[in-house]
Structure 1
Amino acid sequence: MQNTFPHIIIENGVQYHLGTLKGNTIQYDFQKMLIYLDHKGKMLFGNNFKIYEEDEIILFKLCIYFIKDYDYCTKFNIDPNKGILLSGPVGCGKTSLMKLMRHITPHQKSYEVIPARNIVFGFNNIGYKSIEEFGNDGYYCFDDLGIEPMGRHYGKDCNVLGEIMLSRYDLFTKTNVQQLNAKNHIKTHATTNLNAQELENLYGNRVRSRMRQLFNLIAFDEKSLDKRS
């Protein structure tokens, strides 16, 4: 039987109450969300998964974004209509968190997490069709943005993810104009190890400018531990 209460998530017969339902509004409880995220993380990534206390501010920002808590989003300067660019050093847990956060709002449209380098490999095989595929209205999180190689198809080089960002920006601004209720904007998420200057050096000023319009930047501390060790 389908669960008709999005604030209650059922995993292996266990109910996780992420908050309470008040009329048509869910009042989420962050501590209860952390309990669920810890459990779901262990289901997805194994029993060694844990939520670190120093990362809770990152999780809080991600949670208020995905549940669309507009008051807190305003407080933290997060635009719910943009996507998320989650940055931080290697091994800090960016990919795991973006895979995990998809599960706290089962009533919302989800996104697919795709390694950026795999997209380039696809371009090398089939060419510009791959740019058209990911520059469409699908919901994606491009993982490890910036470490992918340059694309090359029939001897012609292409900055594949840069071109995809430009396409998704055009689509994003088009849907913003057409859908004034802001409920169905085309969103793009990404994770990266690079800082803003490194991204600009790689993709150019034009793409970097578009990325500012596409993304909310949420950044781990540069001294965050490598959790893979």
Structure 2
Amino acid sequence: MYQQAFNYLQNKGSQIYGPLFRVLNEDHLIIQRLLAWSLKDAPTAQQLGVDLTKGLMVTGPIGCGKSSLMNLMRFYIKDETPHILKPCRDIAFEFEKAGFEVIRRYACVSYHNSTHRPYVKSFCFDDLGTEHSLRHFGQECNIMAEIILSRYDHFIHNNMLTHFTTNLSADEIEKFYGPRVRSRLREMCNLIAFPRDAPDKRK
């Protein structure tokens, strides 16, 4: 099954990102962990230490392929709505224009009209740490910290899953967002880490 999944990833990646896209052997274990989560393959996920009830946090240096892989994982999710890839910088600029409504926009729970059951949107917040604290009518806000804390509450009560990509280390996340956010991210997400010396594939 996984060889077919790797072949599909190579073909789909080439279609989206061009003929230079490559699935490298040294990335196979990382990709297999992502695939096990996306395919909801419980035996493989357990073997690889991936908790299917949590989201994903993919970390690594610039250009190692975090965002591309999280975008491609959307094509493997069959039983639920795929996550929406959203750059954190865009959210910061939205806050500058729309204010605290942006927190509700990315952390709210909707309800199905027919069943009245909660419907939760799954986001992958791309490049956590590249946004800056911006002001809306003089009010400054660490917008991603507020969104993470709100989505954590829904993770606990409504199984709302959230994914992230970031270049930040755990200590840097705590410096940017505080210990509460670092602790909640640990509870919300599986850590999928590229090596610190992973090459920039854009070069």
Q: TM-score over 0.5 for the alignment?
A: yes
**Residues of 1 paired with 2:183 and 2:77: CA distance?**
30
Aligned twin of 1:144:
127
Q: Please point out which of 162, 165, 187 is paired with 2:161.
A: 187
1:76-225 mapped onto 2 (5 Å cutoff):
76-136=48-108, 137-175=120-158, 185-225=159-199
Greater C-alpha radius of gyration: 1
Unaligned runs of 5+ in 1: 1-28, 176-184
Q: Offset of 1:105 from its aligned partner?
A: 2.7
Q: Offset of 1:47 from its aligned partner?
A: 1.1
Unaligned runs of 5+ in 2: 109-119
Q: Offset of 1:61 from its aligned partner?
A: 0.4
Letter in 1 for 2:71: K
**Residues of 1 paired with 2:21 and 2:38: CA distance?**
21
**Percent of paired sites with the same residue:** 42
**Residues of 1 paired with 2:15 and 2:49: CA distance?**
32
**Partner SS for 1:102:** helix
**Residues of 1 paired with 2:73 and 2:156: CA distance?**
25
Q: Offset of 1:70 from its aligned partner?
A: 1.4
The answer as to 2:47 corresponding to 1:64 is: no
Alignment size in residue pairs: 192
**Residues of 1 paired with 2:80 and 2:151: CA distance?**
20
Q: Which 4+ stretches in 1 moved above 4 angstroms?
A: none
Aligned twin of 2:4:
32
Aligned twin of 1:17:
none
Aligned twin of 2:116:
none
Higher relative contact order (CA 8 A, sep 6+): 2
The TM-score with structure 2 as length reference comes to: 0.92
| Greater fraction of residues in helix | 2
The TM-score with structure 1 as length reference comes to: 0.82
